[in-house]
Amino acid sequence: MKQHAGWALPDLKAAQIRTKQESPVYREQFILNEELRALGKGKYYFLRTYGCQANERDGESIAGILEMMGFTQTKNAEDADLILLNTCAVRKNAEDKALGELGSLKRLCKEKPNLIFGMCGCMAQEEEIVRTVVEKYPHVDLIFGTHNIHSLPKLLYQVMMSHERSIEVFSKEGEIVENLPVKRFGVYKAWVNIMYGCDKFCTYCIVPYTRGKERSRTMTDVLSEVQTLKKQGYKEVTLLGQNVNSYGKDLHLEGGFARLLEECAKTGIPRIRFMTSHPWDFSNEMIEVIARYDNIMPFIHLPVQSGDNDILKIMGRRYTIEQYKALFDALRNKIPHCAFSTDIIVGFPNESEEQFQHTLDLVEYCHFDNAYTFIYSPREGTPAARMSDNVAMAVKQDRLQRLNEVVNRHANERNAAYLHRIVKVLVDGPSKKNPNIYSGYTETNKLVNFANEGAKSGDIISVRITACKTWSLDGEVVKEK
Ligand code: SAH
Ligand code: SF4
Ligand code: F3S
């Protein structure tokens, strides 16, 4: 930890350290006294979350804490007494968006001198960013990181009482705090953390530095959360981890993620999803379990990153394209109706045209239902950021466009196969544009729009597909006989 003016500042080098020590689990870490419970009475908070589902889920804890302190949520930054940006550091454009908002909301501080402005999330774990914010954004009063969400009441108290900046970011391996409150933003769909952090250290990626070491929640804690959600009427849970396949390794849990997945399926909750699976340690047992249980959804996000073995090696991904294809084939054989999505980075340092071509070949082989495609973005402190790079930005942009053309063609083809089929849809609710048109997702994670005939949010209904687009399907409700 770096100290400055009584603050605890992030330190990327310290964030890199991994020891063999077990991560502590705290069950009574979060306590609020009467004074803290009254601190936000009559006050409004505005929370914006960027980035991945892990950050979304953190946002739900932050909201839970603030509401326990008496704050009320507002969707309108103008009405807020507290503005919090829960940020993402995965690529430069994610950072630019948050910094842009940090700048544009500054005007509100002039209008409201008591407004508290805070930043948290993965950017708060970055040395350079915190330094920039301290120097160039004097209106930011509060900065805390991903390891100390539970300190939010204490830090807010300091800012509100002393009217001085409060910054506390820890660069440590991390712990597990089990008793944080949560305000779930979904009514029928819920995120469930099964593990935190990442130890893969892919050479381009900042996440292991911002989120700490891989640490799993106990199976009892995860299962009891899933059971509670089921009792509360939730229809779908998504089990979250940067690499869910590693679940339980730190606990020496026999059976690992396959066993957790099976136990979750046995709770009988209608839909289970999971995110993200690293191809490296996707076990045969996992494939068997996914195939065996109807309530484990046939949709797998399996990031490949590149189709070239040399690039994969430099990325530190620990698999070859042959291994990826073998896994992909095994999944498709065992679960023929399964849908697949992936993540791909183009323009990794020194990627040649031929190497990029290998990525296109892989995409042609897999015919993904969806792919999230990115231009490589150097992240300070990671090994890839220290590599020289001979690929011009215009070339990277051209590759991204060529890749997206293939991805879109496949998405379109995969959706076209749904025409006239009857699918099960978990109804989300009316669409924003037209209250008579409802939308929801199939088991394979396809968005379906349909004219509603009495279905309610949270229902699982049968829909016949009548038209297929690249990123959505249209359908009509099948009447029960
Ligand atoms: N744990 C997940 C990924 C989380 S980050 C996994 O391994 O699958 C989500 C995606 O962002 C990654 O899969 C990768 O494709 C992309 N990404 C990560 N770092 C990046 C960088 N420096 N530049 C561009 N894309 C990046
Ligand atoms: Fe990043 Fe790799 Fe960990 Fe995913 S597995 S979070 S890409 S380091
Ligand atoms: Fe972004 Fe942090 Fe998630 S960097 S992708 S919010 S883990």
140 plus 190 within the same structural domain: no
Residue 1, in any domain of the structure = no
Which 3 state secondary structure label does DSSP give 410?
helix
- From residue 85, alpha-carbon distances to 198, 230, 237, 465 in Å are 23, 31, 25, 40
State pLDDT tens for residues 318-360: 999 999 999 999 999 999 999 999 999 999 999 999 999 999 9
Domain end: 416, 443, 467, which one?
Answer: 416
Residues 436 and 363 in one domain: no
What would the mean pLDDT of 83-93 be, rounded to a whole number?
98
Q: What is the mean pLDDT of residues 15-28?
A: 92
Query: ω before 19 within 30° of 0 (cis)?
Result: no
Looking at the structure, do residues 402 and 442 belong to the same domain, yes or no?
no
What integer is the mean pLDDT of 297-326? 98
Same domain, residue pair 253 and 306: yes
Segment 183-212, tens digit of pLDDT: 999 999 999 999 999 999 999 999 999 999
Within a domain: residue 7? no
Residues 325 and 434 in one domain: no
Report whether pLDDT(3) > 60.
no
* Tens-digit pLDDT profile for residues 143-159: 999 999 999 999 999 99
Q: Given a cut of 70, is residue 2 above it in pLDDT? A: no
Full residue range of the structural domain in which residue 373 is found: 176-416
CATH number at residue 467: 2.40.50.140
277 lines ligand 3 (CB under 6 A): no
- Answer whether residue 123 shows pLDDT above 50: yes
**Is ligand 1 within 6 A of the CB of residue 250?**
no
Q: What angle do CA 18, 144, 126 make, to 5 degrees?
A: 55
Give the residue from 42, 46, 34 showing the smallest Cα distance to 116: 46
Residue 256, judged by CB atoms within 10 A of its CB (0-12, 13-18, 19+), counts as buried
244 lines ligand 1 (CB under 6 A): no
Mean pLDDT of 359-372: 98
Kindly report the length of the chain: 481
Please report the pLDDT score of residue 110 as a whole number: 86
Coil vs helix vs strand at 262: helix
* DSSP string for residues in 137-169: -TT--EEE-TT-GGGHHHHHHHHHHH-S-EEE-
| Statement to judge: residues 53 and 192 lie in one domain | no
Q: What CATH number is attached to the domain comprising 153? A: 3.40.50.12160
Give the count of domains, the chain: 3
Could you tell me if the CB of 52 is within 6 A of ligand 3?
A: yes
In this prediction the pTM is 0.96
CATH number at residue 355: 3.80.30.20
Tell me the average pLDDT across 86-100. 97
Same domain, 307 and 445: no
- How high does pLDDT run on average in the chain? 95
What is the pLDDT at residue 1? 43
Residues 25 and 148 occupy one common structural domain: yes
Measure 210 CA to ligand 3 centroid, in angstroms. Answer: 8
Shortest-distance atom of ligand 3 to CA 206:
4
- pLDDT tens-digit readout, 406-464: 999 999 999 999 999 999 999 999 988 888 899 999 999 999 999 988 899 999 999 99
Q: What is the best residue among 49, 86, 122 to mutate for testing ligand 3's pocket, by most ligand atoms within 8 Å of CB?
A: 122
